[in-house]
Structure 1
Amino acid sequence: MSDEKNNKKKQKKVTASKVVKTLLILILILAIIGGGAATGIVLSIIKDAPEIDPSNINSTLDQTSFIYDLDGNMVEKIQAAELRTIVGLNTMPEYLKEAFISIEDERFKDHIGIDPRGIVSALIDNLKSGGMRGASTITQQLARGLYLDPLDKSLTRKITEMYLALQIERVLSKDQILESYLNRSYFGQNAYGVQEAAQTYFSKDVEDLTLAESALLAGVVKGTNTYQPFYRVKPEDFDSSTHYEVGQTDVLGEKYILVYNQKSVDRQKVVLKKMLDLGKISEEEYNLALNENIKENLKPGEKKTYDITNYFTDYVKTQVVEALVEKLGYTKQQAEDELYTGGLKIYSTINVNLQKKLEDAYSNFTEILVGKTDNIKGPILVDWSLNKAGNVLDDKKNIIFFKKDNLMTDDYHLFIEKGTYELTDGNLIIRNNKLTPYKKHVDVADFYTIDERKNLVTHTCGSIMPNEDEFEIIDNGVKFKKNFLDKNNDFYKIDENENLLIDNKFFFVDKNGIVQPQSGTVVMDYRNGHILAIVGGRDVDGTRILNRATASQRQPGSAIKPIAVYLPALDNGYTAASAIDDIPFYNGNGQLWPKNWYTGYRGMHTLRKSVEQSVNVNAVKTLQSIGIKTSMAYLEKMGIINAAHPEKDNIITSVENRATNDENLSALALGGMTKGLTPLEMTAAYGAIANQGTYIEPIAFTKIVDKNGKVLIDNIPKETVVTSPQVAYIMGDILRTTVSNGLGSRAKLKNMVVAGKTGTTQNQADIWFIGYTPYYVTGTWIGNDSPKITLGKSSSTAAQLWQYINTKIHEDLEGKNSFEKPDGIVSASICTQSGLLASELCTQDPRGVVKTEIFANGTVPTKYCDMHVALEIDATNGKIANEYCPESVVETRIFIQRTPPYNPQDHNGIVPSDYQYNAPTAVCDEHNESNWVPDIIDDWFNDWLNKDREGNGEDDNDSEEIVPLNPFETNDNGNRNSNGRSKNRGNNNGN
């Protein structure tokens, strides 16, 4: 026992001795730099340095971040997956290791973690140049990445970094340090570690790298933004005169072109020269490496996506990276590095129970919307157009997708039919629409299949990528030159039918494909902005490329009307009772526009009914009335428009593009937007209506905590008052009756009130339902990834899916049949034809136009209906009766008088369906004076005969003289006279 105690004492003495030596070395270095006063500063800084255990550096290299739900339950470990692949030092080529040591830390094998010579050399260089060249060793860089804030540039951080480097060197061997460093370094393009870098840039394993390629990677770590071998540009920003394309990639479904970066090779030459100067390579090796063509070597690796997370946690990661960049000033690379390796604790808003129910619903998508598919030829829900060969066509008869058998062999080689290719002078000329040549590449057409559940599945093919001097665009085709074919003798072969087969090793083929139609749904708590569940698409083999719920912009159709038209209108003088006339409307070219979903026009609607029946004409007229600018101001309040950073929203303003933008009636009243909106944006905007007029920014996480327990971000969502609670309630009540009485009836829930709106784009490429209950707001979109393929179903199908989802997520909740009503809501009896208070004449309208409507206090109409009139009509011709019309054919009827009057002749004879209730303006011309006299005589004779029978047959001296009256003469009461009697032919008194 005493020996054990003695050993422990000796061990403590040795450790203490090493620490003292370390401190002395560090103090000496700082003394050289700053004088003796540095001693106290150093001791103070070291005292506050984090405690580390260098022996577990390899485990901290993979320090995992976690995502939790609101209850603190762990949802997911964030793993780098294929973005980081750990390899042993013995797997790496010797010249790769020497390249990094030469350029980053030439005395790495000799120093103790810090390099006094390097520090002094850097100090002298900085004094001479006035610059700030660093002197960090590989060990210091490792310490900084593992334990310190990479954004901190202070002297305190530098001293702490030195101290930690000395500690690391005491515990780990040089090989262990170098291995950790090379596996941890970031190389751009989301590639961490040399293995992933080798795959990303050269599509090979690290052990297969050449000297030139190794030197190139060694040069990247100095600055990934500056020296990464290629970078991404959007297709619209690609300039063939200045850019050299090395490949293409998709990031969250968005296409990018990968452009060669000459600065990476310039840096590579610096690395190679340093290796030569240090004797790490020979002159011959140096020259061979310089002459190696990096442009040809670069071959972007295919990023494989694994189903390691659901759509929700994928979105959380995206939001965390954005928050670290925007709120803490990280670069995107630093933020991603922190996410994947920083040991963060991220507290998300996910409701795991709702997420599971939502995903379960999508796993039964076909059964929910179609049922059994045994008797369906396919594809389900898709309205497609095929040519005779079975290829899918767009509305211009162009092929969008080839039938798989028309494009590929069974083993996915591209086949080119006999007669569409020729071999001339060693060149291969192809004239076939399966290939589309561009200046830098040759695109291969896409294809489709039908799966066992009768779903359309679309498959993407990549591009053939010869060098510029290896192919040529010719008339109606492409020429692959002899030098390309000689270098790639397996590029093609000719089968027994003389068809040309191009090997699939020369282009990418998505063999799994993407099922169509696609869909996305978001569930939110509108009271706090928490996103509770997300599904961003229907999956095939677990592959997730695009989160359609959060990142896919689609035209919202009529679902835009409540937020862009009617809510702003209700807040600017309109009421739910306001009358809007559905009659022909014309665009700027004098053409009838827009069309309604039904044929023709239906006439007078209240604003409520205009929403319930999704009347396009009335939406356009209302928007025109309130003004485009008013609409946009409300969309800004609801998070659709970001005026401060327009590049971050999906609305195109006239400032951004004067020629093509969304500041028009089509975009804002009918949802025909340039880019469109995401289901998340639409859902959050409807949440403002549900939340009594207050918009709350949607959030996917509430807090980020670093590995040391420090709160990095407390994510409090921004709140914006859009309207008063009263206006929001009325809009919500209109959406409620849109479900109970209108086009959204398929979204009804049992024992749960629902408010919502459908949306269908004009070409039926997109269908929507956005709705809410007293608990949640949910937005659902359905459509094909290619809008050129339309749907065979209307928005009621989206409402059907919405109804199924919400039945599941509400099944354990208490039923509620009404929404909470704010104070200040009153009701009144109104006429739906005028929007004013109902009069006695309104009650006589046979259509039942008197309704009870709700209003915000102070907005109830103060006038009575002035549209209804009572007229005496000649029943034989429907015209206003004149004084000659026999009483036997005269009837009193109730009509409406439009202001201004509607004249069908002004609209090519078009009449709205309620035109029969329009007050006639023509007076009867069938009964006139010529047939009036006999009637008078007949009346006189009958009167005389009756009097004679009753009396003595003599004239009554008191009897009224029968005098024909002027039909246009009025009596003392202002009523027109007829047949010697006062008759009311046109009373428009509202009482």
Structure 2
Amino acid sequence: MARKKKKGNSKIYKNILLVLLVIVLLSAAATIGAVIKIVSDAPEIDVNILDNLKQSVEFYDKDGNPIANLHTGENRKIVSLKQIPKHLQYAYVSIEDERFFKHHGIDIKRIFGAMFANIKSRSKAQGGSTITQQLVRNYALTQEKSYVRKIQEMYLAVQLERKLSKDQILEAYLNTIYLGPNVYGVQQASRYYFDKDVEDITIAEAAFIAAITQNPGIYNPYSKKNKENPDNYLGRQRIVLKKMYENGYISEQEYQKALSEDLVAALNKPKTRLSNNYMKYHWFIEAAIDEIAKDLSDKFKLDEKDARQKLISGGYKVYLTMDARLQEKAQEILNDERFYKGIPVKIDQTKLKENESPKPNPQAAAVVMDINGEVRAIIGGRGNLGAGAFNYATDGIRHPGSSIKPLAVYAPAIEKQVITASTVINDSDSDEEANEIKNKYRGWFPDNYDRRFRGPVTVRYGLQESLNTIAAKILNRVGLDTSYNYLINKFDLANIDKKDKYMPAALALGQTLASPIEMASAYTAFANNGIISHPIFYTKVEDRTGSIVLEKKPIQKRAISEETAFIMNQLMQNVVKAGTAQAANLGAMPAGGKTGTTSNNEDGWFVGFTPYYTCAIWIGKSGPEVKYISVKSKFATPIWKAIMLEAHRGLPIKQFIKPEGVVAATICSHSRKLATDTCPSKYVEYFISGTEPIETCDVHSAPVVPVPDENTTQEGNEGNTNNSDVNNTTGNNQTTEDPNNTQNTQQNNSNSQTTSGQQNNSTQSQNKNPSNR
């Protein structure tokens, strides 16, 4: 009976064991199936890891100095393993994966060590991941702590080791790791913490970078806690150094030297490199990105949006035309409230969005470019407008007012030999020519800004004082078609409306549209012998390997003849020396330009030039929320002067050179004919050869005074460092009296008025032969 019972128990045990075996086998099968499913769900991993990483674009100024970087999400700069010092590589191997060079993707010993630690602590704190596993996690997986992710991580690590060498894996890993607030990769970490490229870091600095990898937040040296007590990160750094020494990667001497290095001081020295400068230069960088995106789009047949994304995340180096010092100074000047005192502004709060604060008003913009087209500074607005704000310098399309006159009226008329600088025109709204214009344009004829009329005046004086009547009469003589053609096809103003071709107010008075950067570009023709230069913001773009992707050179063309350019240059210098822009005078440095104020006083301009640069200043209302504002060009000229003084700091005085096709003649201030030695008031005027007066003054009878030798006109040579006042070396080259100071004398002398009137009538009837005027 006992034996039967024993046999029965044995059978039960066997059945239990069989059931357990089946359960174990089924569990194993299920586990294997689950693992197979997890592995099959693992993503494909592209071994071209570095090519797929997003990295920052870096910007350099005109002198090649790094000034800022820009990134989308991950602030990274990829470097090759050759650029990463061995002591940094070994620091990572020592602290993150001692058997890196021996295993095949996973380290079994480390895995079981991590499992034991996790069981003991009842957590998943220890991961046991190799460098290869960390690379897989950073590149292809998430940071989630789960067994599913861990299994996929191990599987992909083994696969990656079969496809890449250890050097390739280490290179990719050191470029992907997160090392601080938006800092990815060891190159960017070296710059962020030590203000140097990774190839230049010391052993102590390398140990610190490797040390913080475990938890950059806890070991952040700039946190309040770690600033007060740096032992937290210093202790971790010393562990790394000890590991490096124990593994034979550094000598005893190197170990002791690294321990004695003042790491806290190195971490807290002033930073001069790229990190936080984007906002300082954002107006320029944003304009450059627009230009580069278009050029990339054109070259590689990309959508501009895709081209922009490619630029920002592709690790490019962009070499700008920017003068960093001038960009900073120009912003500082434009922000200076002293320049805007006395400008009344009223804001309509109903035009603002909810919780929106109005922009500083008046708003302002500035563009400085060299005469060959390289933009040196561009300020798109004043005040703290922030990145991505509306750029009034590039996108602010406004009425340019009288600053359009040299482009639309005076230059075409001189080029076509309809007028000369000494042509006399009646400043009147009731003479025959004014009535002709009124009849032609349905009663339109402009007033002058001061609503005064001065009688017969020279073209030079008309531009100097910005007389609207003179501009209207010259426009009538040269023709609206010619004027429009010059603006569109010669000076390349892109925002001129087709209807402006039929509107004399648009062409003569600037009631058309232009942006500050367009105006600065157009005025290069007056400073550069008739050659117009289109603005460029960069010179080249390199990819991360150093290959040139884009190269930019100024686009230039002849807009007007060098003779016309020189005469316009001299006339516009007179605007600065004696006319509406005297506040822009730069002293010994020759400067010319033209003011502009719109009829509703919503825009004030000054656009000017020197032998080195052109500069356009605009001030006006920020937008429709401004109910009332009253600005004038007189507010723009001091800003222009302040910025241009900075632009010319340290530059030698240079003079404009008279071309061979221009002749100088000594003119009687009364008769406007060739002066005699008895003429009481005379001056030197410039003419396109063949248009100079040939008649001698018949008001003051005497022999003709010879035209002075060109060498006595003190025009100087390019690069001349003569520091004499510019008023003695340019403009009228007065021999006795400034011609523009003789206007009142002329108007008070009945004989001279008669002579002038005769000359004016002759001019009207002989437009093609101004030499008889």
Name the TM-score, length of structure 2 as normaliser: 0.56
Q: Does 1:552 align with 2:390?
A: no
Equivalences for residues 726-805 of structure 1 within 5 A? 726-786=563-623, 789-805=627-643
8 Å CA contact 2:364–2:380 kept in 1: the answer is: yes
Kindly state the Cα deviation for residue 851 of structure 1 after the two structures are TM-superposed: 3.4
8 Å CA contact 1:736–1:753 kept in 2: the answer is: yes
SS in 1 for 2:482: helix
The aligned amino acid for 2:446 is: P
1:344-385: CA deviation from partner (whole Å, max 9, x where unpaired): 22221111121121122123x212443xxxxxxxxx51254x
What residue in structure 1 maps to residue 561 of structure 2? 724
Kindly state the Cα deviation for residue 838 of structure 1 after the two structures are TM-superposed: 4.6
SS in 2 for 1:680: helix
8 Å CA contact 2:427–2:454 kept in 1: the answer is: yes
SS in 1 for 2:686: strand
The aligned amino acid for 2:634 is: S
| Selected match of 1:604 from 451, 456, 461 | 456
CA distance in 2, matches of 1:765, 1:558: 13
| Structure-2 change in CA distance of 1:867 and 1:601 (3 Å) | farther
Equivalences for residues 977-988 of structure 1 within 5 A? none
CA distance in 1, matches of 2:412, 2:59: 39
CA distance in 2, matches of 1:347, 1:764: 39
Kindly state the Cα deviation for residue 666 of structure 1 after the two structures are TM-superposed: 0.8
Kindly state the Cα deviation for residue 326 of structure 1 after the two structures are TM-superposed: 2.7
Considering fraction of residues, name the structure with more strand.
Answer: 1
1:452-480: CA deviation from partner (whole Å, max 9, x where unpaired): xxxxxxxx31xxxxxxxxxxxxxxxxxxx
CA distance in 2, matches of 1:638, 1:721: 8
1:574-632: CA deviation from partner (whole Å, max 9, x where unpaired): 21111221111353465362010122311111111111010101111111111122223
CA distance in 1, matches of 2:517, 2:583: 22
Kindly state the Cα deviation for residue 640 of structure 1 after the two structures are TM-superposed: 2.7
8 Å CA contact 1:726–1:856 kept in 2: the answer is: yes
CA distance in 1, matches of 2:580, 2:687: 23
CA distance in 2, matches of 1:168, 1:551: 53
What residue in structure 1 maps to residue 256 of structure 2? none
Q: Does 1:340 align with 2:312?
A: yes
8 Å CA contact 1:868–1:894 kept in 2: the answer is: no
CA distance in 2, matches of 1:592, 1:79: 55
| Selected match of 1:532 from 373, 376, 384 | 376
RMSD: 3.6
What residue in structure 2 maps to residue 577 of structure 1? 422
Q: Does 1:367 align with 2:367?
A: no
CA distance in 1, matches of 2:356, 2:387: 11
The aligned amino acid for 1:72 is: G
Kindly state the Cα deviation for residue 696 of structure 1 after the two structures are TM-superposed: 1.4
8 Å CA contact 2:530–2:559 kept in 1: the answer is: yes
Q: Does 1:830 align with 2:689?
A: no
Kindly state the Cα deviation for residue 789 of structure 1 after the two structures are TM-superposed: 4.4
State percent identity of aligned pairs.
Answer: 32
| Selected match of 2:504 from 665, 673, 698 | 665
CA distance in 1, matches of 2:387, 2:305: 25
Name the TM-score, length of structure 1 as normaliser: 0.44
Kindly state the Cα deviation for residue 733 of structure 1 after the two structures are TM-superposed: 0.7
SS in 1 for 2:573: helix
CA distance in 2, matches of 1:760, 1:593: 18
What residue in structure 1 maps to residue 125 of structure 2? none
Kindly state the Cα deviation for residue 168 of structure 1 after the two structures are TM-superposed: 11
Equivalences for residues 176-575 of structure 1 within 5 A? 307=279, 309-363=281-335, 365-370=336-341, 380-384=342-346, 392=347, 401-402=348-349, 445-446=350-351, 460-461=352-353, 509-511=355-357, 513-526=358-371, 528-540=372-384, 542=386, 545-573=389-417, 574-575=419-420
Structure 1 gaps, min length 5: 1-51, 85-145, 147-165, 173-182, 184-305, 371-379, 385-391, 393-400, 403-444, 447-459, 462-507, 642-648, 655-660, 870-891, 903-913, 915-989
Kindly state the Cα deviation for residue 716 of structure 1 after the two structures are TM-superposed: 2.0
SS in 2 for 1:894: helix
8 Å CA contact 1:623–1:669 kept in 2: the answer is: yes
Q: Does 1:809 align with 2:647?
A: yes
8 Å CA contact 2:283–2:387 kept in 1: the answer is: no
CA distance in 2, matches of 1:796, 1:789: 22
| Structure-2 change in CA distance of 1:896 and 1:308 (3 Å) | closer
SS in 2 for 1:827: strand
1:735-761: CA deviation from partner (whole Å, max 9, x where unpaired): 111111111101012332211111100
8 Å CA contact 1:67–1:75 kept in 2: the answer is: yes
Q: Which has the higher contact order (CA 8 A, sep 6+)?
A: 2
Kindly state the Cα deviation for residue 792 of structure 1 after the two structures are TM-superposed: 3.5
CA distance in 2, matches of 1:718, 1:533: 18
Q: Does 1:75 align with 2:47?
A: no
Q: Does 1:626 align with 2:463?
A: no
CA distance in 2, matches of 1:900, 1:758: 29
1:91-133: CA deviation from partner (whole Å, max 9, x where unpaired): xxxxxxxxxxxxxxxxxxxxxxxxxxxxxxxxxxxxxxxxxxx
CA distance in 2, matches of 1:629, 1:729: 24
Considering fraction of residues, name the structure with more helix.
Answer: 2
SS in 1 for 2:376: strand
1:196-231: CA deviation from partner (whole Å, max 9, x where unpaired): xxxxxxxxxxxxxxxxxxxxxxxxxxxxxxxxxxxx
8 Å CA contact 1:521–1:536 kept in 2: the answer is: yes
Equivalences for residues 111-122 of structure 1 within 5 A? none
| Structure-2 change in CA distance of 1:835 and 1:712 (3 Å) | farther
SS in 2 for 1:310: helix
The aligned amino acid for 1:747 is: A
8 Å CA contact 1:355–1:533 kept in 2: the answer is: yes
Kindly state the Cα deviation for residue 331 of structure 1 after the two structures are TM-superposed: 1.0
The aligned amino acid for 2:391 is: N
What residue in structure 1 maps to residue 684 of structure 2? 852
The aligned amino acid for 1:576 is: A
1:610-662: CA deviation from partner (whole Å, max 9, x where unpaired): 11010101111111111122223322344434xxxxxxx211114xxxxxx45
Structure 2 gaps, min length 5: 1-45, 77-138, 140-158, 166-175, 177-277, 702-748, 761-771
The aligned amino acid for 2:690 is: G
8 Å CA contact 2:585–2:641 kept in 1: the answer is: yes
CA distance in 2, matches of 1:637, 1:698: 16
| Structure-2 change in CA distance of 1:570 and 1:168 (3 Å) | farther
CA distance in 2, matches of 1:696, 1:893: 47
CA distance in 2, matches of 1:169, 1:601: 90
CA distance in 2, matches of 1:567, 1:349: 29
Equivalences for residues 142-157 of structure 1 within 5 A? none
CA distance in 2, matches of 1:790, 1:80: 40
1:513-560: CA deviation from partner (whole Å, max 9, x where unpaired): 31110000001110x210000111012364651111111101000000
CA distance in 1, matches of 2:570, 2:648: 20
SS in 1 for 2:511: coil
The aligned amino acid for 1:764 is: N
Kindly state the Cα deviation for residue 333 of structure 1 after the two structures are TM-superposed: 2.5
Equivalences for residues 687-702 of structure 1 within 5 A? 687-702=524-539
